[in-house]
Structure 1
Amino acid sequence: MFEWSTAHGLDVQIRADLVDADCVRRYHEAGVKVNVWTVNTRRECSRLSNLGVDYMVTDYLSSESL
């Protein structure tokens, strides 16, 4: 997926538990934004925020619900 999406300049959506710092770094260096799904805990939200993901999909409407 990395080669194809970066070659076409397409942002990616990746299941949250498959994302690590190297993944985010590689996509960002290629100019691609990273969206992750589905983030439903504060711990996971913090982890992914610290990694620098661009977007997160959640089942909740507000961060207070996490």
Structure 2
Amino acid sequence: MLFTAHALNSATGDLHRFLTAYLDQQRSLLASTGPDHALALELISDDGLRDRLAAAHRQTLAL
């Protein structure tokens, strides 16, 4: 989703419409992942990796 949001900035026409629809679809799917994502993060022992994954999830939720 982060890559798609970035690509959307330079897309036009049919591609822009497609990427916009894709992001809308993915937003609804991502919305329900909060509890599962938090549980999954608890299983990651590497602090740096856990922090990066949590940050990516927060960024994606903010799209």
Per the shorter chain, which TM-score range? under 0.3
More RCO (CA 8 Å, sep 6+): 2
Max radius of gyration: which structure?
2
Q: TM-score, normalised by structure 1?
A: 0.27
Structure number with the higher helix fraction is: 2
Structure number with the higher strand fraction is: 1
Q: TM-score, normalised by structure 2?
A: 0.28
